[in-house]
Amino acid sequence: MSPSSPRRRLRTASVACGIDVLRVSRFHQAVKRGGEAFLRRVFTDSERRYAARHQNGLLRLAARFAAKEAVVKAMSQVDPAHAVMMRQVEIVNDRLGRPTVTLHEWPRKLPRIEVSLSHEDQVVVACAIAFR
Ligand SMILES: CC(C)(COP(=O)(O)OP(=O)(O)OC[C@H]1O[C@@H](n2cnc3c(N)ncnc32)[C@H](O)[C@@H]1OP(=O)(O)O)[C@@H](O)C(=O)NCCC(=O)NCCS
């Protein structure tokens, strides 16, 4: 493998990133279709409690959905052999309101992962950076 080949760069890069953008109406449809089972499959109890505390709870959940997708993308670069499930990724805000990531049931050394999310009316966006 040459030193500059894409495969080698992927293996040796010290950070990996992922991004996701989501229309809230699309997420709403998924919630209507999948109901409680969908919400339980995707979100942890504390994420659902966080959303329930806010008037725009659906928007908050959509933002967390996008954040999980962004983490899945970043982690697929860190460790392509182990797929991350949405419910393994938990987004919890700290006391200043900053989102933090916990990766549950990960079989290897946990990477540090940072996320940032934003929501505006009908669109949410999130990005994640994983540090090896
Ligand atoms: C905090 C702030 C960045 C949020 O930006 P916004 O345009 O109002 O809203 P956005 O939709 O873009 O972002 C909202 C998300 O930002 C994240 N967020 C909130 N506070 C944050 C912080 N201090 N740092 C990083 N991210 C933060 C949260 O994930 C939030 O979504 P959530 O509550 O659903 O988890 C904004 O209120 C701001 O610039 N405040 C001025 C600085 C400030 O007062 N900071 C407070 C900490 S000292």
Which of 54, 64, 119, 124 best tests ligand 1's pocket when mutated (most atoms within 8 Å of CB)? 119
The torsion angles phi and psi of 82, rounded to 5 degrees, stand at -120, 110
Structural domains of the chain in order of their starting residue, each with its CATH number? 6-131 (3.90.470.20)
Could you read off the pLDDT of 42-81 as tens digits, one per residue? 999 999 999 999 999 999 999 999 999 999 999 999 888 8
Sign of the C-alpha dihedral computed for residues 35, 40, 43 and 49 taken in this order: positive
Q: What is the pTM of this model?
A: 0.86
The torsion angles phi and psi of 123, rounded to 5 degrees, stand at -135, 140
**Taking the C-alpha atoms of 50, 53, 59 and 61 in order, what is their torsion angle to the nearest 10 degrees?**
30
Using a 6 Å CB cutoff, which residues line ligand 1?
60, 63, 93, 96-99, 117-119
Q: pLDDT band for position 1 (50/70/90)?
A: low
Query: Could you tell me if 60 and 51 are in contact, meaning their C-beta atoms sit under 8 angstroms apart?
Result: yes
**Nearest residue CA, atom 43 of ligand 1?**
96
